[in-house]
Amino acid sequence: MKRVITTVCTADYYQNYIPIFIWSALKTFQGVDIIIYVRGELHDNVLDALKIVNGRYQIVANYKTDYPFLIGTTNALRFTTETIQGYDEVLITDIDFFFSAVSIDIFQFHKDIKVCEFFSGHHGPLHKPHRPNICPAWKGDFERVTGGFVMLYPGWWKKTVEIRKKWDEILHRGKDSKNDIYGQFRESDECILARMIKEAGLPVAPKIPYPRSLRFLHFGDFKPSMKVRYEDKAKMSGFLDRRHVNAFLRALSDPSYSKIVDIVRINAQMDDIISRTITYCEGVV
């Protein structure tokens, strides 16, 4: 069984998550390859941090830099990327995760919940997305499939060849033939994924309870814009399993991980988010 974890990352401060992502993934998932596409050059401090990481991974820099630099565009490119050959299971996720081992195997979990042979995922929130702004040109279908953890199987690539090509061209232009604009709001990638699935004649992933233990530690929950979440410990307890909190705090005492964190915290935005994450984690143990 050949497996890979992959994502697409912007070249701004988000690329500072790459060494953390890889370090924790290598510790958590045995025998799993890692491929990260970066929409620009790697910064010197990120390259320095990666020198500390021991293991097999691949980083593709300057990926599709001629496409618009919109949050929804970058995230949607995870689903329109060229065929990832030679893998039985392809797990697509976000870059800003700290992985740690739990009793549930995420690859097995997706096998258990998949509704067809091509992909596995779970339905996004049913409400119309509204953060930060809905692009007024995009009307109609706002059904979403959560983009953070989607598993693709070999048949997906053949089944969606033309659909992926179509959406890749739309993302490249930034608009479709009706001049509806894509990529300008945070959840647009999840709406695009749902549309791709339906256009392929596949069943949309069901809305299911997603195990808290498989959400891992998501640094995105501690961005300033997520204050309404991270300041509410009751709400956060529904997102962040205590085992991941403990694993993150233990990792900070690991010399290699600690050095990686120190290097990426040179970036002010990373320093702010990591400081807030540590404060929260220390406050709940």
Structural domains present in the chain: 3-199 (3.90.550), 221-284 (no CATH)
Q: What is the pLDDT of residue 276?
A: 96
pLDDT tens sequence across 185-239: 667 888 889 899 999 999 988 888 888 889 899 999 999 988 888 888 888 888 8
Burial of 68 (0-12, 13-18, 19+ CB in 10 A): middle
Confidence of residue 132 (pLDDT cuts 50, 70, 90): very low
- Residue 61's contacts (CB-CB under 8 Å, 6 or more residues apart) are 38, 40, 41, 42
pLDDT tens sequence across 241-272: 999 999 999 999 999 999 999 999 999 999 99
Q: What is the pLDDT of residue 128?
A: 57
pLDDT tens sequence across 30-53: 899 999 999 999 999 999 999 999
Confidence of residue 84 (pLDDT cuts 50, 70, 90): confident
- Angle formed by the axes of helices 17-28 and 255-264, nearest 10°: 160
Confidence of residue 137 (pLDDT cuts 50, 70, 90): low
Averaged pLDDT score across all residues of the chain = 89
Structure tokens at 79: 């689903």
Distances, alpha carbon 140 to alpha carbons 17, 72, 180, 205, 216, in Å: 34, 17, 11, 19, 33
Q: What is the pLDDT of residue 130?
A: 55
Q: What's the whole-model pTM score?
A: 0.92
Which residue shows structure tokens 């941090």? 49
Which residue shows structure tokens 């009793």? 103
Q: What is the pLDDT of residue 267?
A: 97
What is the pLDDT averaged over residues 89-101?
95
Q: How far apart are CA 276 and CA 279, in angstroms?
A: 5
